[in-house]
Structures are given as C-alpha cells and as structure tokens.
Chain A
Amino acid sequence: MRTLSALTAAPTRSGGSAPTARRPRRWGALTGALVVVVLATAPLFLAPFATTTLTRILVFALFAVSLDLLVGVTGLPSLGHAGYFGAGAYAAGWVSLNVTAEMPVPLLAGAAVGALAAALTGWITVRSRGVFFLMLTLAIGETLQQVAETWQSVTGGANGLTGIPSTRIAGQPLTNAGFVHWYVLVFFLAGFGLVWMVARSRFGAALRGIRDNEPRMRALGYPTALYKYATFVLAGGVAGIAGALLVAQQRLVTPADLGFTTAAFALLAVIIGGAGSLWGACVGAALVIVIRDALGPSLGGHGTLVLGIVFVVVVYGLPRGVAGLRRLRRNGTDR
C-alpha cells in the first residue's frame, strides 16, 4: 500500500496549509491571479472544443479539490467520493429536467444532495481509518452507482439522464461554450476559495492535526469524529456543486459519473498533484482530463494506460506530487 502511505503519511506542507515564508506567498498570489486571468480570457482566443476541455478541467478540478480536503488535509483516503459528485450531478440534472434549470436551483440542488448523501453515509465511514476507510468508501460508492442504475424512474437507469436543458441565468440559457465556461469558472473559484479558507483556518489546522496524530487532537479536547464527519459532509457538498457544474457543461449524467473509475481518477489527480496541496490537485485534475479526454483519441484509446504510467512515475519519483516540485526548488532539498 505504498500509495496509501504516500497519501496519508507524507502530505505536502505547502498549499492547503498556512503559508510560512513570505516571499513565496507573494509569488503564489501573483501566479494565482495570473492563472485566473488566463482562465477568464481563454474563451476569447480558444476554439470551442479547447474551451470545453478547459471547462471540463475546472469541473474535475473542483471535484478533486473537495476530495483533497478529505485525503490530503484530513488524511482520509476515499475511493467513493464520486458517489457525492454523481449524486449532485443527478440532482442538478433531475431538477433541470423536472422543475427548473434557472440558476441557482440546479446548483443548490447539487450541493444539497451531495452533502445529504455524505451526511447519510459519513457517520459510518469516518469512524474507520486507512485501508478500512478506503474499502468502506469504495463499497458506498458502488452502492450509489447501483442505485443510479436501478432507480429507472428518477435516474434513467443505465442510460442516465439525457436531454438536460441548459442552465439558465435570468431566463437566458447558457448554450455558448464560452458562457458555460465563465459560469463554471465563477463557481469553481467560489468552491476552491471555500475549501482553501477552511483548510487554512483553525478548523483546517485541527484537520491536519487529526491527519498527523489523531489521539493527540483528542487529548487536546477535540471531538475528532465530529470534525471528520463535518469535513466529510462539506467535501460531499462541494463535490455536489462540482457535479452540478458537470451537468451544466455536458447536459448528461450517466452512472459512470458516480462510479469507481471516476473516483479513482480523482484520487489519481490528488496524488499526482500532491495530496494536501489544493492547487496541486487542480494541476493533477488538468493532467488527468488532458490525457484522458484530449489526448486519449490520438493515443489510440490508451489514455488510461498513460495515466497509469504517470501515476507510477509520480509515486516513485515525486512522493509529494507536482506541488512537491516547488518545495524542491525552494529549499534545495526535499525534507
């Protein structure tokens, strides 16, 4: 279980944690601002297909960030997180089809159902640790996928929900790829900002304390199970928002969106990026989407194989992921 120890035992200290050195922090803020400007102006100079790929990256990145809150910050490696992403997507899709596609209804439905699904299942999972947590979340994710496949009247069964109308803002449907991109970007930034603020708050420090040594947190008076449960529900809610954004982009939900493969790809993104680093998770998500969706066809359908190789290389070559590269350069050594 080298991957598991890479997840929980050696998390990066940069990113989600409170910044210490002042100079890199200023550069970080500058780089962040630059990235936001590029993301915001991208639809102006990119072809619609490229814009759509970028939008998919943002959706998947928010999902990966919500997972990183569990995996990297709190030390809870989940293989079932796609269940809450998918639950949010189905909720947003169903609401758009049967009630209204007017903002913010689908988004709120996605967030609420993602959080609710996490609240109903989390109380069992957060009481376990390590491999047991991994297996329990896997089982719950598979169960949710079964529900999606069999509850025909609501989920559309194996075909999923199709023909979902475009999300509307003040009555105007978002059909143009650029507008969809901007819509997704706004809520990606909001979701990322929320998780980032949580990770660097005192609550976030408590989560990192739980990750490093849970008995010590309890001995300090922290009811750690409650902290983990609250985090699990929050991560489910943010994953649900990401699911609602997925629906706004692809206007289709299938059982695959809450299955094991999606969950594993998200975990892959978190590890490649460097567990515990929120921006690292976004870089990891970008790599996963680019290799799987954009390069996949030209690789003769071997995109997953390439991702597997990237994963092995990262685990052995960069135990702290992409985010660890910055530390390497800054400190000269990787401690």
Chain B
Amino acid sequence: MFLQVRELVSGYDRSTVLNGVDLELAAGATLGLLGRNGVGKSTLIMTLMGLVPVTSGSIRVEGTELAGRRPDVVAKAGVALVPQGRRVWASLTVDEHLALASRGRRGGAWTVDGVFDLLPRLAERRRQYAGQLSGGEQQMLAVARAVLTNPRLVLLDEPSDGLAPAIVDQVAGMITTMRAAGVAVLLVEQDLHLAFAVSDEIAVMEKGRIVHRVPTAEFRRDPGTAQRLLGVA
C-alpha cells in the first residue's frame, strides 16, 4: 500500500478528534471521504500533513513513517495539501505561487507551463496578486500550487466549497488528470456529485473513525446506508 494509516489518534489541546483511524490507499487511487460536520475529516487531512500533532498511531507513505514529522518533511516525502478555503497568499502573485511550489525546477511530471496549459485562466492572471482573484481562480491556484510540488499523494479539503458548478467541473477535471498521472488522491467533500464523479471508492467517517468503505458504484446503489451515515438522500 502506498499510504498506510494505523490507529491514528490526534486532536487539539484538550479534545481528541481522531479516535483510531485506519486507512489504506493504493498508488494512483482516489478515495472520497464523506461524513457529517465535525466527525474529523479536516482534522485527518491536517494530521496527515503534520499540521495537527499526532497523539499516537502511524502514518506511512511508501513505508516511511511520517507520524510526528514536521509539515515540510511530510511535503518532501511527496504529500501535498489543497486546504479548505484555498488559503492562497493574498500578497503574492500567481507566478510567485507557482515558482515557490515548483522551486524553480524544470523537471518532474508537472511544470508551470503544463499547469498553464490545463488552466489557461491562471495564465491570463499570472502577474496578478492572488488576493485579487475570484474564488474559482484561487481554487485553481491552490490546486496548481499542490501539483507543482510533484506529489504522489494529494490531500484535498472541500475543494468545491463556495464554487459555481462550472468551476467544480474544472476541479473534477484536475483531479481526474492527477489520477491519470498516477497521483493518489484523498478527497474530503460535501458535494456528493464531485465525490462520486472522481472517486474509485467512498469512505465515511463517524466520531473520528472510518466506519464504512466501499467502491463508489456500490455506495451509490445503496441509498439506505448513505442516508443512515450522512443524513442525506
């Protein structure tokens, strides 16, 4: 397995949020992670990235133990994050974002020019400050920033949040392109259409654990379970 998470426990000051998460992800696979608000989906992503301290448990990427390592070490191991709410640097230009992400490298599967080909809108805005971009453009920039580190695992936290349907389609296109390039994707999403469209499998979290995991097609055939786990039709 490319990503192996075992008995992962983490949280903030006095509250434990993750209560022993077990998760496996094969190279190049896309997993959609669903669940009600507050079950720990974002905390799982932040913990995997090293931004929330691990209490116990193990996070292995290609066999390398990353639990408790600094975020920059995790990033160098090939993990990239597209955070909730984009979190682009408002006072940096599009070009500067991409230069920082690619570190001026020319090699690798993903290049600045390649990203501009996929996202021509960003190319038009390359000299603008990220703070002046629309929400959709910022999301594209956040995705571009992640893929330009040439990761093997991308963590996306609600990339469709607050975006128009046409932009969500573009996000779906980017995820599909990543998967085709052999990148493993862990997608936390509230938008079921996006999650279903790109994921090989769907997992559901409840109370800090993953309680259900099936192929996407099977999940869609079983609305009763979806209703019970997510409170949606």
Contacts and interface: CB of A to CB of B under 8 A. Distances in A.
A binds B: yes
Given A219-B49, A221-B75, A13 B91 contact: yes
Contacts of B49: 219
B72 A205 contact: no
Interface in A176-228: 202, 205-206, 208-209, 211-213, 215-224
A97 interface: no
Interface residues on A, range: 20 to 34
B52 to A, nearest CB: 10
Contacts of A219: 49-51, 71-72, 74-75, 80-81, 83
B91, B132, B149 pick with most chain A CB within 10 angstroms? B91
A204 to B, nearest CB: 9
Contact of A11 (B75, B80, B91, B93): B91
A231 interface: no
Nearest to A203: B100
Contact of A223 (B50, B72, B103): B72
B196 interface: no
A218 B70 contact: yes
27 contacts: A11-B91, A17-B91, A20-B129, A202-B96, A202-B103, A202-B104, A205-B96, A205-B99, A209-B89, A209-B92, A209-B100, A212-B91, A213-B87, A213-B89, A215-B51, A216-B83, A218-B50, A219-B72, A219-B75, A220-B72, A220-B145, A221-B75, A221-B76, A222-B75, A222-B100, A223-B72, A224-B72
B72 A218 contact: yes
Given A220-B75, A221-B149, A223-B72, A202 B91 contact: no
Nearest to B79: A219
Contact of A205 (B51, B70, B74, B92): B92
Interface of B: 49-51, 70-72, 74-76, 80-81, 83, 87, 89-93, 95-96, 99-101, 103-104, 127-129, 131-132, 145, 149
B83 to A, nearest CB: 7
Contacts of B90: 212
Nearest to B129: A13
Nearest to B81: A219
A18 B70 CA distance: 29
Given A215-B71, A218-B75, A220-B80, 13 more contacts: A17-B91, A18-B95, A18-B96, A20-B128, A202-B99, A205-B92, A212-B89, A213-B87, A215-B51, A219-B50, A219-B75, A219-B83, A221-B103
A13 B103 CA distance: 22
Given A213-B87, A213-B89, A221-B149, A202 B100 contact: yes
Contacts of A20: 93, 127-129
Contacts of B83: 216, 219
Nearest to A21: B127
